[in-house]
Each structure stands twice: as structure tokens, then as C-alpha cells.
Structure 1
Amino acid sequence: MYNVKTYNAISPAGIDHLSNQYQVNKTDDADAYLIRSVDLHEADFPKQLKVIARAGAGFNNIPLDRVTEAGIAAFNTPGSNANAVKELVIAMLVASARHMFAVTNFSAQHIHADISLMKKTDDRFKGTELLGKKLAVIGLGHVGSLVANAARELGMKVVGFDPFLSSDAAWHISNQIERADSMKAAIKDADFVTVHVPKTAETTGLIGAEEIKAMKDGVHLLNYSRLGIVDNQAAVNALDAKHVASYITDFGEDVLFNREDVVVTPHIGGSTEEAEANGSIRGANIIMKYLETGNVKGALNLPDLNVPFNTPFRLTLIHQNIPNMVGQIATKLANNDLNIEGMSNAAKDKIAYTIIDLDEEPTEDLVDALTQINSIIRVRVIKNQK
């Protein structure tokens, strides 16, 4: 029986998806965490913990260096909330073009006013259409590609920029969408700019004062990635200078407070019933696959390694990516008279992962001997349940 501990309000869809080999929230000494946005940076992890699955795309709440040192595999579920974010971004494009929040606030305060008459004296009440307008999409991954395609369907001229665009993502982008070769080329004539990149050291501050200055006057800027991707102070400065028409973001900060030209949604980009169900189901599948087979695909801190599990037993080892590790491991098995039916190894940066398939169950003495090898981080024995 495996134990899973959840944090935050995890959709029941994922809990129900776990097989009868799993029990949920029965102990803190869990084999797996299924989480959303809980901050684990100061958490103490139980020795039993083997895997953390984040039901959502963002993972800056997981201390990757520390979980890797503890031999814990960490995963997120990119794309599980992509449609939810896409729909909200499209709604915000329409809202910004029509000054929706300003005019509805006015209407709430002047309930008997004839809004049609106000268009003659106040430009807030005379919006524009998206048809024919230019949208720059910065980041063309799961969310960005959906936004780009949806905007194209609305008749917008769409230009995308993503220096990290994968071949898989490229297939999901309409060939009618222009691909820019630089940030400056993408944003220079755009009426709207929306950013959809993961938060890393490289993307923090991606849209700053210099980038905003390169945009045209009257641009509408949207950030539905992460706090810090857009420099909020730079955005406010550009709003004050009337260079930026509006700024819409999912991430609040004091500098954005109480401005009519700023709309802050309360981090709801991926908060739909469907997105939360998708994320929790994918998280549950990740946990079951990793615990029951040791196979890895899309981990944040381990290399991909997917090997058919056809033998009675399997050893998995997380270790440093240094010379002669596989040789040392194989020697330990040979010294214990264990025949290796199959061995696979892969590396990701400084971490390597090895899977060894066996016909006989490894003894505790062998597991201890493997654990004692310098630079071995974790050794697991998995019994094939099929």
C-alpha cells in the first residue's frame, strides 16, 4: 500500500483516479505528495517520500535542489490548465479593447446614466475591435500556442516569439502565425502584447522598461505567466507616461493598487473545475507510474527514462552524473550473484538515473551496499505487480 499526502484543495477527480493500492492523507510519512501551490521551501520531507506531483504548470513552490538531494522525483503537469488560461486571456483582450472594467465601474456608480451619450465626451466609452489588430504572443508553449491560434481565429494579426520553441509546440501553431526572430521584432508594432513563459532566472524581468519602451504608444499589456516576468514598476511608469493604455495581470503587487488603467485578477488563470480536474488526474497518473514502475517522463529534476517492466523486480538508482557509476553498480550486483536482465541509464545535467531489471529480488544487504557507493542518492526496489 502506497501513501499519498495532498496539499491545497486537490480536485477529487485525481484522488478517485488512484488505484486501490493507494491511501490518501492517512499519514504524514507519505510516499508521494500531490500538491498545487503550497510553498515547500521550508518543509521537512519524510524519508519515505519518493515523488512530488504538482497539479499545475508552475513549480517555483518546489525547492528542486533540496528535493533532488533527497532523491525525490518532482513533476509538474504543464498544459493541464492551458485551455483555462487561454480562455481568460481572450476574455481580457476583449475587455481591454472595450475598456470593460472602467465603463462597468462607471455604470455601477451612475446607474441611471445613458452610456451611449458618454461616448461623445469620454474616450473610455468608445472601444475598439480585435479584428485586424496585432497581437504579440511572447512564449509559444502550451498556453501561448492556444492563445495565438484563438486570436488568429478572431481575425487578429498574430506574431509569436519564443527562443525556446520546441518542435512539438511548433506543430500546434497555425502556419498563418508570423514567427519573429527577436523580442523587439515581435512587439514593435503590436496593439496587444501577452506573455506566456515559465518563470526562470532567464525570464524574470523579461518585459522591463527597455522592452516596454520598444512597444507602440497605446499598447495593451497582459501578464498571465508569473509575477516578475513583467516588471510591474516599469509597467506603471509607462502607464503614467500614457505610453501603455492598460495593464492586465493575474499577479497583484502594491505598486498596482487602485489604478483604473490596471486590472488585477486574483491568480485565477488556471482555476476552473476542468483545469483542476485535469491537473489532479495527471498528477495521480504520474505518481502511480513512478512508484509502480520507476519510469520517468517529464520530471523537473530527473532525465526521461521509460523502460518496459517485464521482470519480477526492478532496481532504480538516482545518482550523480560522474564516470564509472554504472560500473560500480554492476559490480555490486555481480558480487551478489544477481544477473542483470536489463539496464538503462540517462542523465540530466548533474543527475543521472539508472534502471536495472532483475529476475530475483535484491537483498537488503545489496541495497545497503549500493546505498554506500559514493554519489548514490537513492536506491529503490520495485516489485512488478502485473
Structure 2
Amino acid sequence: MKVLLATEKPFAPQAVKEIKGIIETAGYTFAVIEKYTHKSELIKALEDVEALIIRSDKIDKEVIDHAPQLKVIVRAGAGYDNVDLNAATQRDICVMNTPGQNANAVAELVLGLIIFMQRNQFDGTSGHELKRKRLGLYAFGNVAKMVAKIARGFEMSVQTYSPSLTHDDLRKEGEYGVLSVYSVEELFETSDILSLHMPLLKETRECVNYALLSRLPEEALLVNTARKEVIKEADLIRIMDERPGFRFITDIQPDNHALFKEKFGNRYFSTPKKSGAQTFEANINAGLAAAKQIVDFFHTGTTRFRVN
């Protein structure tokens, strides 16, 4: 049994060492390909592999078709839109993610981004405090729950809307101190700061459009640490054109990054690359979870976090 760790963006050396230990202790062969620059390198490495651990690496139909022995793919992280689920399902390949392992890292980033913008990117001018500001969380998964807990420490008012959870479900989340609103429209209308936390699905692609954005207050702050595709960029540019106080911050550079930067100055900021899970701790947590899920898959048939 051969397990491949394939990462364009490598794990921390300590994480790789511990992943290797889990795999080899289970009696499997462990291999690594890091910082590869072309798909052909990944395809060649997959020729005799039965299990694959990835991060944001793109696993499309071509890659899957060139991995004849592959049985399981684990995405070390929450999002999995970089894997062609249909192609994997056609081959009866199990695809899993590792939800929750990066949640605290992303949540801390969200609050850091919010503070950065509330203080005008620390340009020396007077900004705003977080206390008593209304924070809206669009979706309420692992990351949003951690954001809520941290935000409550700043004495923010936290509310959420999640199409996948009922109000009874949300009422059970009392430890997070959140208010459940009855529609996404209400969420936008009553949030000073709106943070996006939905996965990229057919239903969520460009779901944040002009109709919703126009419901936010005039000087609202939109925060995106989810996926860039959940926002309709043309509509966001339009609303920022219309409202000189509207601000946007993200850790995923939009397609129109240069235009945002040129037109909106310090009302806009994007990190150079996706940064939510870029902590030493999250790096290790997600990698070890992926390794353990592969061992459990082959030992006991466990597919708890299967996404296809």
C-alpha cells in the first residue's frame, strides 16, 4: 500500500515527519512530492499510489484517470472544490476532507482582517472599535463558530444565517452567543460587518450579488475568507463605486485585484495568497487528520468525512 503526500505548497517539515510516522507505523509505504511545477510531475508520481493527501492541489479528471490504483483522496483542509468529485465517484474513489482542523487559524485571521480595516489599515487616522458592532456570519460551520466565540470576546453582537441549519439547530449553539436571523436578506440588512463562510457549491457560486450587497449599511465591511467565486465581482465593484464608505477585505485575491486596488485604495485589501490555514498549528492538525483518516479507511472502512 502506497500513500502519496502531494503538495505544491508544502506542509511544515514537522508535519511531514509526523504524517510519515502515522503512515509507516500502519505498515504502508510513504512518498512525498512537494513544490512541483507541472501536472505531469504529479501524474507520474501517482502511477502506483493507492492513497493521496493534498492541500489546494488541483485533482482533475486527467489526474484521476492517470492514477489506476487510487482508492482514496484526502484534502487536508475544509474546502474540496479543487477535486473533481464526479471523476472520483466514477472511479469509486473516496474523497474526504478534514473539517475543523484549520478552523481556529481561519477564525483568528478573520478577526485580524476586521481589526486591520476598522483601524484604516493602521494609516495613522482615527478608526473604529469592534465593541457593539454587529457582525453577520453567512453560514455557520466550524470556522464561523470559532469566529463567533472570538468576536463575543470583543463584545460584538453576532448573528448568523445558514441555509443548511434550522433555527432549532442554531438555538442549540447557545455557547457561541449568536442570534439566528430568518433570512439572508435580514442578515445583510442588520450587519455592520459581514463575513462569508460558505463552501463553493453550485448553489453558492456568485450568491453574494448586488441584490444582497445593496442591503448592507452604507459603510459596511465585507470579509471573504471562503472562496472568491461566491462573490459576483462586477456587483461588488458597482456597490463600492456607489458607496464611498463601503469596504472589502479578503485573503483570496479577486480576478480584478488590480482594479480594486487602483479604484478603492485603502477601502480594499487582499493578502498576496490564501492565508487562512497558514499557521504552524493548522498545518500540523490538518495533515495528521488526513493521515489518520487514510489509515482508518484501509483498516476499518471508515469514511466519516466523505464528500462524494
Q: Could you say which TM-score interval applies, normalised by the shorter chain?
A: 0.7 to 0.9
Q: Alpha-carbon deviations, 1:275-307, whole Å to 9, x = none?
A: 111111110011001112223212112xxxxxx
Structure 2 vs 1, CA of residues 86 and 169 (structure 1 numbering), >3 Å: closer, same or farther? Answer: farther
| Equivalences for residues 195-206 of structure 1 within 5 A | 195-206=196-207
Q: What displacement does 1:46 show?
A: 2.3
Structure 2 vs 1, CA of residues 169 and 25 (structure 1 numbering), >3 Å: closer, same or farther? Answer: farther
Q: Which residue of 2 is the match for residue 40 of structure 1?
A: 59
SS at match of 1:193: strand
Q: Which residue of 2 is the match for residue 23 of structure 1?
A: 29
RMSD after superposition: 1.9
SS at match of 1:37: coil
Q: What displacement does 1:244 show?
A: 5.0
Q: What displacement does 1:175 show?
A: 6.0
Gaps of 5+ in 2: 33-44
Matched AA of 1:67: A
SS at match of 2:195: strand
Q: Which residue of 2 is the match for residue 94 of structure 1?
A: 115
Matched AA of 2:294: I
Q: Is the 8 A contact 2:135 2:156 kept in 1?
A: yes
Match of 2:303 among 296, 304, 314: 296
Once residues 221 and 23 of structure 1 are traced to their aligned partners in structure 2, the CA distance between those partners, rounded to angstroms, is 46
Q: Is the 8 A contact 1:208 1:231 kept in 2?
A: yes
| Greater gyration radius | 1
Q: Which residue of 2 is the match for residue 7 of structure 1?
A: 6
Q: Which residue of 2 is the match for residue 358 of structure 1?
A: none
Q: What displacement does 1:272 show?
A: 0.9
Structure 2 vs 1, CA of residues 93 and 173 (structure 1 numbering), >3 Å: closer, same or farther? Answer: farther
Q: Alpha-carbon deviations, 1:83-117, whole Å to 9, x = none?
A: 0000000111111111125x1xxxxxxxxxxx5xx
SS at match of 1:25: strand
How does the TM-score come out when normalised to structure 1?
0.69
Q: Alpha-carbon deviations, 1:197-217, whole Å to 9, x = none?
A: 111011111211110001110
Q: Is the 8 A contact 1:55 1:283 kept in 2?
A: yes
SS at match of 2:49: coil
Q: Which residue of 2 is the match for residue 222 of structure 1?
A: 223
Q: Is the 8 A contact 1:145 1:169 kept in 2?
A: no
Identical residues among aligned pairs (%): 28
Matched AA of 1:288: V
Q: Is the 8 A contact 1:184 1:211 kept in 2?
A: yes
Once residues 289 and 3 of structure 1 are traced to their aligned partners in structure 2, the CA distance between those partners, rounded to angstroms, is 15
User: In the comparison of the two structures, how many residue pairs are matched?
Assistant: 279
How does the TM-score come out when normalised to structure 2?
0.85
Higher helix share: 2
Higher strand share: 1
Q: Which residue of 1 is the match for residue 286 of structure 2?
A: 279
Q: Is the 8 A contact 1:86 1:146 kept in 2?
A: yes
Q: What displacement does 1:150 show?
A: 1.3
Once residues 169 and 73 of structure 2 are traced to their aligned partners in structure 1, the CA distance between those partners, rounded to angstroms, is 25
Q: Which residue of 2 is the match for residue 155 of structure 1?
A: 155
SS at match of 2:175: coil
Q: Alpha-carbon deviations, 1:220-245, whole Å to 9, x = none?
A: 00011011112222222211222552
Residues 1:128 and 2:147 are matched in the alignment: no
Q: Is the 8 A contact 2:296 2:302 kept in 1?
A: yes
Q: Is the 8 A contact 1:98 1:126 kept in 2?
A: yes
